[in-house]
């Protein structure tokens, strides 16, 4: 007897191949089953291996998110064999296909005779990767692998996370976006440009996967600290989603990278004959708002209200507005405002073990008052307010921001953008950062300016003169935009700084001591945060979920890490960390009554772990 799951699956394949008539589908079921049993040029690949959450194809194709009329389009049917199977990155195993599989799936002769294990393939690929001296070449090799053999790509990334994160993510992904036009080989993700206006729902339906649970979307206007890279920003959603899978265990089939192309104001790209995006200046105002509105509506219509939309690397002037507008109607999360805030708050909570006192005892000074700066500032204030019972306005007074015009103070209120206004405190105007450090006497200095080298020797030495252990976070990405390097922070504070950065820095030897910088990057948070939302079937994001994520991450810092001066755990155990974050976030979703997946699993950490995608090859019977 065919299992119900398999029966339904075959039904869907038929419907997908254009058989809309229920009776015809029923009649044909038998012959297709026969055809599959006899070979007949098709073979069923182990579709269940794609299931991410709880197993079973229903989870992937979503019993509850697709009616029979909208089910699989033909190219989503997971039926492949022979040559096609080798070219399907979701199922390809290369030389790891066993003798039996080679016979059963028409692969004889299409592969050389050797059979390798996945471990041996991994070893070979790591050796190859290490031979490339140019980081961008490693990036290209990893992207090629992702296009060729998804399971192996994730196996490499998961098993070698510390080594490969800087390859598929910051800093190399920044350079990849800058050169995307010339390294572009296979399109990844969905491109939605002004040309698709009025047709966005149709475009979404062109994507081969149905069970999308996370979308990362950018409009390319502020890619890391590199500015407007237009359509070439696609590297960012692709990179972020590969971390959703590798670090958070969300199955690749549930992830959809999207770039919205409304033009670019980058002259270099506009004049580049190989530019892959729309060659026009950015649409703004109503034209921009309408395209985004159509996009958000189409997403909900196509994927339901439980799909998570992560906004990434939008410019300030759109980021705050999009978040506040769509957080009321959709499950949305802005990684640069909220993800960065949550990871920094986690580091600050952890740092109290080294610095002493409570969060409210500290004074914070930011350089940069955009998405990251004001996002972090607000979450710190919220945490202080919750912990002490002080009103939010009071808590905000511990936090000062400097932007390109100097310290944000009351006398500037009239000309400040709305997201900066809560930070305009009583003080005389100050232009230079170093003078602000002298006047405010912060215990914590945070760089979110997007501009490199702003924490000069003068600034860092002043921090060191004011604090026994100055906490310095140079968060701007990629490495070229970091406000200072780890070496500078340690040297200029005579080894006393607690230092963290957005992009990774190597440990520094200072007076025979090895000082290990932390990486305060939102990659610690968004994969586990997203997993927690998905597990609970959250329908809205709430700030308390961000606080829960921060506390969960801070709890993963152990005595062993503190002894080394670390305020973040190493990335090596990131899947375990993500499971803990997911559990705390999901618990908050249930507590707030915003969960739609009922009943609540008892042990949320175990449940999170059981949901996670495994990159191990399955055997295809
Ligand atoms: O991508 C990263 O490494 C962190 C981030 O969100 C940004 O810098 O915009
Ligand atoms: Mg970002």
User: Which tens digit of pLDDT belongs to each residue from 584-616?
Assistant: 999 999 999 999 999 999 999 999 999 999 999
With beta carbons less than 8 A apart as the criterion, state whether 69 and 132 touch.
no
Does the Cβ of 313 fall within 6 Å of ligand 1? Answer: yes
CB atoms inside a 10 Å sphere around CB 604: 21
| pLDDT at res. 80 | 81
Does the Cβ of 101 fall within 6 Å of ligand 1? Answer: no
Question: Quick one: which atom of ligand 1 is closest to the CA of 336?
Answer: 6
CA 586/CA 342 separation, integer angstroms: 15
Question: Quick one: which atom of ligand 1 is closest to the CA of 223?
Answer: 9
240 flagged as catalytic? yes
The complex's ipTM works out to 0.99
Q: Where are the beta strands (DSSP E) in 188-323?
A: 190-193, 214-218, 255-261, 308-311
Cis upstream peptide for 508 (omega within 30°): no
Q: Ligand 1 pocket check: which of 174, 233, 336 to mutate, most ligand atoms within 8 Å of Cβ?
A: 336
Does the Cβ of 502 fall within 6 Å of ligand 1? Answer: yes
CATH number given to 524-611: 3.40.50.10380
Does the Cβ of 151 fall within 6 Å of ligand 1? Answer: no
| pLDDT at res. 79 | 62
DSSP-assigned letters across all residues of 494-542:
TT--EEEESS----EEETTEEE--EE--GGGTHHHHHHHHHHHTBSS--
Phi, psi of 552 (to 5 degrees): -60, -40
Separation of CA 283 and ligand 2 centre (Å): 21
- Give how far the C-alpha of residue 421 lies from the chain's centroid of Cα atoms, to the nearest Å: 29
CB hemisphere CA count around 204 (13 angstroms): 25
CA 331/CA 540 separation, integer angstroms: 5
Kindly name the residue from 50, 93, 155, 240 that is annotated as catalytic: 240
Helices (H), 304-339: 316-326
Separation of CA 434 and ligand 1 centre (Å): 26
pTM of the shown model: 0.89
Q: CA 150, 155, 161: angle at the middle one, nearest 5?
A: 120
CA 33/CA 22 separation, integer angstroms: 17
| pLDDT at res. 183 | 86
Q: Ligand 1 pocket check: which of 522, 524, 568, 571 to mutate, most ligand atoms within 8 Å of Cβ?
A: 522
Nearest CA owner, ligand 1 atom 6: 336
User: Which ligand lies nearest the alpha carbon of 217?
Assistant: 2
Ion ligand 2: residue ranges with CB closer than 5 A: 312-313, 336
Does the Cβ of 196 fall within 6 Å of ligand 1? Answer: no
User: Which ligand lies nearest the alpha carbon of 173?
Assistant: 1
Question: Quick one: which atom of ligand 1 is closest to the CA of 239?
Answer: 1
3-class secondary structure, 215: strand
Of 155, 148, 143, nearest to 86 by C-alpha is 148
Separation of CA 176 and ligand 2 centre (Å): 15
CA 240/CA 219 separation, integer angstroms: 14
Domain limits, the chain: 171-334, 339-520, 524-611
User: Which ligand lies nearest the alpha carbon of 218?
Assistant: 2
CATH number given to 339-520: 3.40.50.720
Which residues of the chain have a pLDDT value below 50?
A: 1-78
With beta carbons less than 8 A apart as the criterion, state whether 105 and 81 touch.
yes
CB atoms inside a 10 Å sphere around CB 181: 18
124 flagged as catalytic? no
CA 35/CA 306 separation, integer angstroms: 37
- The fourth-level CATH superfamily of domain 171-334 is Malic enzyme, N-terminal domain (3.40.50.10380)
Does the Cβ of 229 fall within 6 Å of ligand 1? Answer: no
With beta carbons less than 8 A apart as the criterion, state whether 247 and 575 touch.
yes
Interstrand relation of 332-334 and 255-261 (parallel, antiparallel or unpaired): unpaired
User: Which tens digit of pLDDT belongs to each residue from 321-354?
Assistant: 999 999 999 999 999 999 999 999 999 999 999 9
Separation of CA 313 and ligand 1 centre (Å): 8
Question: 97: which residues sit within 8 A by CB, 6+ positions away?
Answer: 105, 107, 111, 115
Nearest CA owner, ligand 1 atom 7: 224
Separation of CA 475 and ligand 1 centre (Å): 9
Phi, psi of 134 (to 5 degrees): -90, 120
Kindly name the residue from 91, 154, 169, 568 that is annotated as catalytic: 169
Does the Cβ of 336 fall within 6 Å of ligand 1? Answer: yes
Binding residues for (S)-malate: 222, 477, 521
Walk across the sheet containing 364-367 and list its strands.
Answer: 406-407, 399-403, 364-367, 444-447, 471-474, 498-501, 518-519
User: Which ligand lies nearest the alpha carbon of 523?
Assistant: 1
Does the Cβ of 170 fall within 6 Å of ligand 1? Answer: yes
Q: Ligand 1 pocket check: which of 313, 370, 448, 527 to mutate, most ligand atoms within 8 Å of Cβ?
A: 313
Does the Cβ of 224 fall within 6 Å of ligand 1? Answer: yes
CA 241/CA 255 separation, integer angstroms: 6
């Amino acid at each position: 007897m065919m299992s119900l799951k398999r029966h339904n699956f075959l039904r869907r394949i038929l419907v997908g191949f254009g058989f809309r008539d229920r009776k015809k589908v029923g009649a044909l079921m038998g012959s297709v089953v026969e055809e599959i049993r006899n070979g007949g040029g098709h073979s069923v690949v182990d579709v269940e291996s794609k299931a991410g959450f709880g197993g079973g194809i229903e989870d992937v194709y979503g019993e509850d998110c697709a009616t029979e009329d909208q089910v699989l389009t033909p190219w989503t049917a997971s039926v492949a064999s022979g040559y096609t199977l080798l070219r399907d990155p979701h199922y390809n195993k290369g030389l790891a296909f066993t003798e039996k599989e080679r016979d059963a799936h028409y692969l004889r002769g299409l592969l050389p005779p050797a059979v390798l294990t996945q471990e041996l393939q991994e070893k070979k690929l790591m050796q190859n990767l290490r031979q490339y001296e140019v980081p961008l070449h490693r990036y290209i090799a990893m992207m090629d692998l992702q296009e060729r053999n998804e399971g192996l790509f994730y196996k490499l990334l998961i098993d070698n996370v510390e080594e490969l994160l800087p390859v598929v993510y910051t800093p190399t992904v920044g350079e990849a976006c800058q050169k995307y036009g010339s390294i572009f080989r296979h399109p990844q993700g969905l491109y939605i440009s002004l040309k698709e206006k009025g047709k966005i729902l149709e475009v979404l339906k062109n994507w081969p996967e149905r069970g999308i649970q996370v979308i990362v979307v950018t409009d390319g206007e502020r890619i890391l600290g590199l500015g407007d890279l237009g359509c070439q920003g696609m590297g960012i959603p692709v990179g972020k989603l590969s971390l959703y899978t590798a670090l958070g265990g969300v199955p690749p089939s549930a992830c959809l990278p999207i770039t919205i192309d409304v033009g670019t104001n980058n002259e270099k790209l506009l004049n580049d004959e190989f530019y892959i995006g729309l060659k026009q200046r950015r649409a703004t105002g109503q034209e921009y708002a309408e395209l985004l509105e159509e996009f958000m509506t189409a997403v909900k219509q196509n994927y339901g209200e439980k799909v998570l939309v992560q906004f990434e690397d939008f410019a300030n002037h759109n980021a705050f507005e999009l978040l506040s507008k769509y957080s009321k109607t959709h499950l949305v999360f802005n990684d640069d405002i909220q993800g960065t805030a949550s990871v920094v708050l986690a580091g600050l909570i952890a740092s109290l073990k080294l610095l002493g006192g409570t969060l409210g005892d500290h004074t914070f000074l930011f350089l940069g008052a955009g998405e990251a700066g004001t996002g972090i500032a607000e979450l710190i204030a919220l945490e202080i307010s919750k912990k002490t019972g002080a009103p939010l306005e009071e808590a905000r007074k511990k936090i000062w921001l400097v932007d390109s015009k100097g310290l944000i103070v009351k006398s500037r209120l009239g000309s400040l953008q709305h997201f900066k206004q809560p930070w305009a405190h009583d003080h005389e105007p100050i232009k230079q950062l170093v003078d602000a450090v002298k006047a405010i006497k912060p215990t914590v200095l945070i760089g979110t300016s997007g501009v490199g080298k702003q924490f000069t020797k003068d600034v860092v030495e002043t921090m060191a003169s004011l604090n026994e252990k100055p906490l310095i976070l140079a968060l701007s990405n990629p490495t070229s935009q970091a406000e200072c390097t780890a070496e500078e922070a340690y040297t200029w504070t005579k080894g006393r700084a607690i230092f963290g950065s957005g992009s990774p820095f190597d440990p520094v030897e200072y007076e025979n001591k090895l000082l290990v910088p932390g990486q305060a990057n939102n990659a610690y948070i968004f994969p586990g945060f997203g997993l927690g939302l998905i597990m609970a079937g959250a329908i809205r994001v709430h700030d308390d979920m961000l606080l829960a994520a921060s506390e969960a991450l801070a709890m993963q810092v152990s005595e062993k890490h503190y002894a080394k001066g670390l305020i973040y755990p190493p990335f090596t155990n990131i899947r375990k960390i993500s499971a803990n974050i997911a559990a705390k976030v999901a618990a908050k979703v249930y507590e707030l009554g915003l969960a739609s997946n009922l009943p609540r699993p008892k042990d949320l950490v175990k449940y999170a772990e059981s949901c996670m995608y495994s990159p191990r090859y399955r055997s295809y019977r």
